[in-house]
């Protein structure tokens, strides 16, 4: 074989090699592209499948106002509000060392609960009138419970109770009483023997502020006569 023929054969072999290489490279890129396309399609199909399984897939939904969850939540809130003002169950300590609970209400048609504090001037000033009211009507189905929360003024409280001649029970504040108080003292409420709030003249269930003996007597008389 001449040198010319050898060069021609080598050239042909080189061209054939380049064609094979180019073909493999082109085939590889196309396969990679198809693989990417296949993954994208798979991802899209998977997402659509998940949407359909959760009830979406482009559909619009409105929340039904009569749905059971919303209704139950409203009912629970209503029940809580009603329970806060109808009936009471409590247990707390009295200044006499005894434990008091709702059983003290039994047998009394009207129980007056006076929320006070020993540092409150109006609270302290009306206590002699409350004691008089208690002594006057305690044999007619009426009683008074004094309730306070400032436990670091025991000496001042003792002096107040002694000077006012208080004989009705004085109890420490407990969680069960909080639905009945206001942000002011004194605040007074009236309960029946089952622990239900009584409406006082004027359509209120709370009496905020101190009152004279005469004003308290009008309220007590009206409740006892109801």
Residue 89: name the closest of 108, 105, 75, 112 by CA: 105
Cα dihedral angle (181, 183, 184, 186), rounded to 10 degrees? 20
Out of 3.30.565.10, 3.40.50.720, 3.40.30.10, 3.30.70.890, the CATH code matching 88-225 is 3.40.30.10
Q: Would you tell me how many other CB atoms lie within 10 Å of the CB of residue 46? A: 10
Q: pLDDT per residue over 117-139, tens digit each? A: 999 999 999 999 999 999 999 99
Q: pLDDT per residue over 5-37, tens digit each? A: 555 556 555 544 444 344 444 333 333 333 333
Domain boundaries, the chain: 1-55, 88-225
Average of per-residue pLDDT across 152-169: 97
Instruction: Work out the mean pLDDT of the chain and round it to a whole number.
Output: 76
Q: Where are the beta strands (DSSP E) in the chain?
A: 91-93, 99-101, 110-115, 142-148, 170-172, 187-191, 207-208
Do 188 and 114 contact (CB within 8 A), yes or no?
A: yes
Q: Classify residue 220 by burial, with Cβ atoms within 10 Å: 0-12, 13-18, 19+.
A: buried
- Res 226: pLDDT: 86
Find how far residue 46's CA is from the centre of its chain.
42
Q: pLDDT per residue over 51-101, tens digit each? A: 443 333 333 323 343 444 444 444 444 443 443 345 899 999 999 999 999
Average of per-residue pLDDT across 129-155: 97
């Amino acid at each position: 074989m001449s040198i010319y023929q050898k060069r021609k054969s080598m050239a042909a072999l080189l061209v054939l090699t380049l064609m094979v290489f180019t073909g493999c490279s082109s085939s590889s890129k196309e396969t990679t592209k198809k693989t990417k396309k296949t993954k994208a399609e798979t991802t899209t199909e998977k997402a659509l499948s998940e949407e359909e399984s959760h009830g979406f897939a482009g559909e619009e939904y409105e929340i039904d106002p009569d749905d059971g969850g919303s209704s139950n939540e409203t009912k629970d809130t209503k029940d809580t509000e009603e329970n806060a003002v109808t009936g009471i169950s409590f247990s707390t300590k009295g200044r006499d060392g005894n434990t008091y609970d709702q059983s003290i209400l039994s047998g009394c048609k009207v129980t007056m609960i006076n929320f006070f504090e020993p540092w409150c001037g109006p609270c302290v000033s009306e206590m002699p009138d409350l004691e008089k009211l208690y002594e006057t009507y305690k044999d007619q189905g009426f009683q008074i419970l004094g309730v306070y929360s400032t436990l670091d003024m025991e000496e001042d409280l003792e002096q107040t109770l002694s000077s006012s001649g208080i004989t009705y029970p004085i109890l420490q504040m407990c969680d069960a009483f909080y639905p009945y108080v206001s942000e002011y003292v004194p605040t007074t409420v009236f309960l029946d023997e089952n622990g239900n709030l009584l409406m006082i003249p004027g359509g209120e269930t709370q009496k905020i502020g101190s009152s004279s003996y005469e004003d308290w007597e009008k309220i007590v008389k009206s409740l006892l006569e109801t």
